[in-house]
Amino acid sequence: MIAILTIEQKDLLIGQLYDTDSYFNPIQDIYDNWIISEEEVNQTNIEWVKKLPLTEYKPKEIKFIF
């Protein structure tokens, strides 16, 4: 499960700790949404992050060129 972020929310989280020694790591899903993991949501003390709804993760397809 993941939480979808706006670009502004993503920018606020980059470089921020969500735990003692773990930083937020927003990535993009198959739809190019910026997302963070359920673990990041559950372990942070940032209240607005805890209120983000969770949805199923759909990863980007990895394309190999040979």
Residue 17 to residue 35: CA distance in whole angstroms: 16
Q: pTM value?
A: 0.88
Q: What is the pLDDT along the chain (66 residues), one digit of tens a residue?
A: 999 999 999 999 999 999 999 999 999 999 999 999 999 999 999 999 999 999 999 999 888 887
What pLDDT does residue 9 have? 98
What pLDDT does residue 27 have? 97
Token code pair at residue 54: 């969770």
